[in-house]
């Protein structure tokens, strides 16, 4: 008598084999601890609340900060996880093909130009260049620029496109056309599907755009000298963020002091058990 196949058992065996092969492929090609390039958002904020409804100014300010800070913390923490992975690879005696490929993706994401990491032996210099770009933005600075650039979340661009930082884009239809755009200009103010994506774009912009090379160099020197990475310290490198130039730097610094925003940078460092020797 022919025995019938136990199909549920067969499917289970095949599934286990498939997962085992997939796990082996991932470990051999990408490593077990290499993070994604972008954070997996736990609770996306799709729209801003109507901050014009707040009557008390201080209550509005605190609501603004408390909404944005967890998003800034989450995005910054992920940037630091990529940074830690890079430091681990820097100490490795050799790298797998998957680790090299991951490095190439990181270099492309952070716009490291002139280095084809896929075709070159990995050298410490490559990772050192990436480490200058891959670091956190102090929450005090991020909260300040969000409030200034968006008018406390009440600007047209923040309400219609979750754009809190004045981020531009240059492909037709990528955002909102500013009403005061000069003739011959083609930029738009970028639209984001969530507030989280706006914060992510802001951090990536400071970490990659050529205009903020001084910002990254100053942050790297602070870290190298074991000095606090604060919003006030880095504000002096952001004259190119606004047409206001040096006045913008003063405005950002005063804003951080007036609203006591260094408390959020300390909170961030405590939340991730921040120790400069490890990252």
Which pLDDT score is estimated for 5?
45
Cβ neighbourhood burial of 155 (10 Å; 0-12, 13-18, 19+) = middle
* H or E element, residue 233: helix 231-235
Q: CA–CA separation, 27 vs 29, rounded Å?
A: 6
Which pLDDT score is estimated for 93?
82
Residue-range domains of the chain with CATH: 51-271 (1.10.530.10)
Q: Is 87 helix (H, G, I), strand (E, B) or coil?
A: helix
Which pLDDT score is estimated for 276?
45
By the 8 A CB rule, do 93 and 134 touch? no
Alpha helix (H) ranges present in 49-167? 57-91, 97-109, 124-133, 139-150, 156-161
**Contacts (Cβ under 8 Å, ≥6 apart) of 44:** 194, 195, 196
Q: CA–CA separation, 111 vs 219, rounded Å?
A: 18
Q: CA–CA separation, 152 vs 179, rounded Å?
A: 20
By the 8 A CB rule, do 252 and 236 touch? no
Instruction: Please name which of 206, 240, 44 lies closest in space to residue 138, comparing C-alpha atoms.
Output: 206
Residue 256, CA distances (Å) to 10, 52, 83, 233 in order: 63, 22, 26, 11
Q: Is 189 helix (H, G, I), strand (E, B) or coil?
A: strand
DSSP assigned state of 25:
H
Residues across the chain: 279
By the 8 A CB rule, do 83 and 207 touch? no
Mean pLDDT in order along the chain per 10 residues (279 residues) = 48 43 41 83 93 96 97 96 94 86 92 65 77 97 98 94 89 74 70 96 97 97 95 96 94 97 93 55
Which pLDDT score is estimated for 225?
96
Structure pTM?
Answer: 0.83
> How far is Cα of residue 250 from the mean position of the Cα atoms in its chain?
25
In degrees and rounded to multiples of 5, residue 168 shows phi and psi of -95, 160
């Amino acid at each position: 008598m022919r025995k019938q196949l136990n199909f549920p058992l067969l499917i289970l065996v095949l599934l286990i084999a498939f997962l085992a092969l997939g796990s082996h492929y991932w470990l051999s090609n990408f490593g077990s601890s290499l993070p994604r390039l972008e954070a997996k958002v736990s609770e996306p904020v799709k729209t801003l609340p109507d901050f014009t409804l707040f009557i008390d100014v201080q209550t509005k300010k605190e609501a603004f900060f408390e909404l944005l800070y967890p998003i800034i913390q989450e995005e910054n923490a992920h940037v630091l996880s990529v940074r830690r992975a890079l430091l681990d690879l820097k100490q490795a005696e050799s790298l797998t093909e998957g680790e090299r490929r991951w490095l190439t993706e990181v270099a492309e994401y952070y716009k490291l130009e002139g280095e084809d990491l896929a075709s070159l032996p990995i050298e410490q210099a490559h990772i050192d260049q990436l480490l200058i770009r891959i670091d956190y933005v102090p929450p005090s600075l991020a909260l300040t620029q969000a409030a200034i650039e968006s008018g406390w979340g009440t600007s047209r661009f923040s309400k219609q496109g979750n754009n809190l930082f004045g981020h531009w884009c240059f492909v037709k239809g990528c955002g909102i056309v500013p009403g005061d755009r000069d003739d011959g200009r083609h930029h738009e103010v970028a639209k984001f599907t969530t507030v989280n994506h706006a914060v992510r774009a802001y951090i990536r912009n400071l970490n990659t755009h050529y205009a903020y090379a001084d910002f990254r160099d100053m942050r790297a020197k602070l870290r190298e000298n074991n000095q606090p990475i604060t919003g006030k310290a880095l504000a002096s490198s952001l004259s190119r963020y606004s047409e206001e130039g040096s006045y913008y730097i003063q405005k950002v610094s005063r804003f951080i002091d007036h609203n006591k925003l260094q408390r959020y940078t300390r909170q961030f460092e405590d939340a991730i058990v921040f120790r400069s020797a490890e990252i």
